[in-house]
Structure 1
């Protein structure tokens, strides 16, 4: 069972296994159609496509009409139906990949763990790693028999915007923001019209989890780099712009052997939707 990362060579050895489900999670935050277009041009053999905008996110407005962020969590029942349409069963090994160092694949990894599915991993190095060992791409659309995955006890916790607001005063949790430093400081109005960060938050850009070749750093290196930021991972909260790249930090913590941190799904996009919530700028 692969529960965090899988190498391209390991995946190649199992790519034809009917009990394995490979999901292409490519995406572009500035061009939501780019992922599906890339999938049509060429994808890993047998892979299905998972859209960050639709299948892997829910409605931006909750039943109460309140904005929940740009990529709120999907309803569990809807996510289960999507996974079943991809042929996922309780015993399936799922592998998520993208072409962005796991930036989007980690979202599916986290969502499956949220449903209580343990056998899910991210392809380390993504498509580049796959092609670097001479493995082919395909344009064929796979025919998948319906799966029967069920919801079980989650492996991962979440927190709400209320929890994060209360934590500003209490300081019981360490909040880590996965956005780039300029966004964290409030200097990138193109992406974040309301710039800055949640008061008290620290910054860990998700790309800092990667080596130059796009693969994750080793466990020892990740532990050493997270050590100044997090004393107790079970008292930590990961957030980002909309709850997507925060999952990359959560995956890195698992690789480092530091499990237990929570995701704030709404993240910055939900936080700033209410102008009464405080905003900090500059460095942490």
Structure 2
């Protein structure tokens, strides 16, 4: 039997919770599906074919900072506000985010809302696969959207740049946690993006994001999450920095940290797409 944690509209809600609240007037739902090229899936096409009723499509690559050469970096505040207004999402709304993989990219959008100072946002535990498995309805009809004003206060402490991460790695005063597969962390497997070195940030710890999830894509309860971090050698007394390949699955680590009550965590937005690109940044290989 899969053990799940209680619903929390600020972090994680169940499919049952969403079904019960589906018609709430101030609920806004996002399909934030995003896939790596080797997954062979088209997120927008899948959304257009079938999505949870009333959900909007959140394009992670579009709602990003196009001034950066790095993939889907967090957008400027003004761009985030304008995109959300166009999608009919604003102040006073409860947001629920899901994806088509179960738990893969939705946490990135949860983190992005938190970065922008919005706390009434949760990830749908188990995502669309669990919703479908339970027989809940889907539709191909787009929602009716009306403009809504949004006030944003960017929480700069929730994101790190390469300089801050390099300093933290050198001083050892943060727990740097890497969500990539162990083979990539060790440097035994090539990176999916060309031109990147293999390995990990010196001093970082490997916590594969899938180790935080049950087989059905739902997140493990807080007690089990703590065990995963502990077994990986993560010092939870230190402030945490989460990282991955391009800042997507790192947000699953951030969500898990929030679920266990740890609030002093930041996400390295450039992640390995940036760190692995620069020859002057140190790397480590093998196990942590």
Pairwise same-fold verdict (TM > 0.5): yes
- Would you say the 8 A contact 2:115–2:155 is kept in 1? yes
CA distance in 1 between partners of 2:90 and 2:170 (Å)? 43
Q: CA deviation at 1:281?
A: 1.2
Give every structure 1 segment of 4 or more consecutive aligned residues whose post-TM-superposition deviation is greater than 6 Å: none
- 3-state SS in 1 of match to 2:44: helix
Aligned pairs, number: 277
Aligned to 1:43: 51
- Would you say the 8 A contact 1:233–1:259 is kept in 2? no
CA distance in 1 between partners of 2:89 and 2:259 (Å)? 24
2:62 paired with 1:54? yes
Equivalent position to 1:272, from 266, 273, 276? 276
Equivalent residue runs for 1:202-221 within 5 Å: 202-221=205-224
- 3-state SS in 2 of match to 1:278: coil
Aligned to 2:9: 2
Equivalent position to 2:31, from 15, 21, 24? 24
Given the superposition, is the C-alpha separation of residues 152 and 168 from structure 1 closer, same or farther in structure 2, using an over 3 Å criterion? closer
Equivalent position to 2:19, from 12, 18, 33? 12
Aligned to 2:112: 111
TM value normalised by structure 1:
0.92
Cα RMSD, aligned residues only: 1.8
Q: CA deviation at 1:134?
A: 1.6
Aligned to 2:5: none
CA distance in 2 between partners of 1:190 and 1:115 (Å)? 30
Q: CA deviation at 1:240?
A: 0.5
Aligned to 2:75: 74
Any unmatched runs of 5+ in structure 1? 62-66
Given the superposition, is the C-alpha separation of residues 261 and 282 from structure 1 closer, same or farther in structure 2, using an over 3 Å criterion? same
CA distance in 1 between partners of 2:157 and 2:88 (Å)? 23
- Would you say the 8 A contact 2:180–2:245 is kept in 1? yes
- Would you say the 8 A contact 1:116–1:155 is kept in 2? no
Given the superposition, is the C-alpha separation of residues 233 and 106 from structure 1 closer, same or farther in structure 2, using an over 3 Å criterion? farther
2:123 paired with 1:122? yes
1:182-208 Cα offsets, whole Å, 9 max, x none, are 111112225154211111111001111
- Would you say the 8 A contact 1:237–1:263 is kept in 2? yes
- Would you say the 8 A contact 2:185–2:199 is kept in 1? yes
CA distance in 2 between partners of 1:252 and 1:2 (Å)? 14
Given the superposition, is the C-alpha separation of residues 156 and 41 from structure 1 closer, same or farther in structure 2, using an over 3 Å criterion? farther
Given the superposition, is the C-alpha separation of residues 246 and 233 from structure 1 closer, same or farther in structure 2, using an over 3 Å criterion? farther
TM value normalised by structure 2:
0.91
- 3-state SS in 2 of match to 1:84: helix
Equivalent position to 2:226, from 223, 226, 235? 223
Equivalent position to 1:255, from 256, 259, 271? 259
Any unmatched runs of 5+ in structure 2? 1-7
Q: CA deviation at 1:252?
A: 0.8
- Would you say the 8 A contact 1:53–1:71 is kept in 2? yes
- Would you say the 8 A contact 1:234–1:259 is kept in 2? no
